[in-house]
Amino acid sequence: MLADKIKKIKVADYQSIPVVVNESVSVYDAIVTMFLEDVGTLFVIDNDSLLVGVLSRKDLLRASIGKQELRSIPVNIIMTRMPNITMCYKDDLLIEVAQRLIEKQIDAMPVVKKTEKGYEVVGRITKTNMTKAFVDLAKDDLI
């Protein structure tokens, strides 16, 4: 049954490669990275490669509306910080992560691994990943 299949899918089955920037990168460089990588969310890491923040399109747009010099403002000024970041693990159920994306009204979530120092970003899960899972399930059901 399709519902049973859905309840067994893990984040690891559909996660994609994360796009990260260092917290000292300028807002301008983050905008360029977002554009070149064709993503809507960037994950911000510190010098130890640990997750410290998240940048959405909305964050970058809000920063660019003012008269600030975008090349001189580091992203750590405008990012969403820990502990306000919604994240998941590769062993989480995809359906539960989809529910959190809907509840929080966000487009993407970092997939993390807990370390002694903090959280290391190992992937990302997005609405596009969810759509791919949905399409794959429909294809499997047709075969």
For the chain, domains (ranges, CATH) are 2-142 (3.10.580.10)
pLDDT of 41 reads: 96
**What backbone phi and psi angles, to 5 degrees, belong to 32?**
-60, -45
The torsion defined by the Cα of 136, 131, 97 and 42, in degrees rounded to 10, comes to: 130
pLDDT value at position 1? Answer: 67
What pTM was computed for the model? 0.90
- pLDDT beneath 50, residues of the chain: none
Bridge partner list, 55: 42
| pLDDT score for 118 | 95
